[in-house]
Amino acid sequence: MRVAVAVLAGASALLVAGCGSQGVVLPTANGVSGTLPKQKTTPALAKGDPAAGKKLFASEGCTGCHTYGPAGSNATIGPDLDKLPQYAKQANQGSLQQFVETSITSPGNYIQPGYQNVMPTTYANLPPKQIADLVAFLTQ
Ligand code: HEC
């Protein structure tokens, strides 16, 4: 009998402690209501405009570091982008489009052999459409 009382007392002590800790927020979700907006375009696959990309290539300063025939540039700090199809094959980082896009948004991901990791990382902040335009210009 004594044992049972002791157990009961212990149990109520636990209950009291439980009440005291009710202020703690439990990380349980109550479910999400509403519908997600339908996606019209996937930014990564947005269709770029090569002519707009050509303008961006100059205005964003790419011409200051890269040689690229269609842009009329001949800088040598970065790789010659006329050779992108070949470089993309050597890099083996997905399709030419994927390789070019990643090279613009996170240049440090793959460093072209013989070059330094000095390409600005700020191009990742460009609107997806402008990145698509640049990719279109470089893969036309
Ligand atoms: C300050 C110089 C500099 C500027 C400005 C610059 N780049 Fe680069 N870029 C480099 C260097 C250096 C590399 C080689 C290192 C690497 O692979 O990240 C490179 C690599 C690349 C590559 C991958 C080439 C390869 O074979 O790996 C692409 C594509 C590219 N740049 C496109 C651009 C575009 C588009 C812009 C403008 C929006 C730009 N770069 C601006 C210096 C620059």
For the segment 50-72, what is each residue's pLDDT rounded down to a tens digit?
Answer: 999 999 999 999 999 999 999 99
Q: Is the CB of 116 under 6 A from ligand 1?
A: yes
Q: Is the CB of 66 under 6 A from ligand 1?
A: yes
Give the residue whose CA is nearest to atom 13 of ligand 1.
Answer: 78
Q: Is the CB of 55 under 6 A from ligand 1?
A: no
pLDDT digits (tens, 9 = 90+) for 74-84: 999 999 999 99
pLDDT digits (tens, 9 = 90+) for 90-107: 999 999 999 999 999 999
* 66 DSSP 8-state letter: -
pLDDT digits (tens, 9 = 90+) for 16-62: 444 544 566 666 666 767 777 665 544 455 789 999 999 999 999 99
Q: What is the pLDDT of residue 22?
A: 57
CA 58 to chain centre: 24
* 107 DSSP 8-state letter: G
Q: Is the CB of 112 under 6 A from ligand 1?
A: yes
Read off the amino acid at residue 47: K
Per-residue pLDDT band at 11 (split at 50, 70, 90) = very low
Q: What is the pLDDT of residue 32?
A: 67
- Is residue 99 within 8 A of residue 91, CB to CB? The reply is yes
Two tokens at 42? Answer: 């996937």
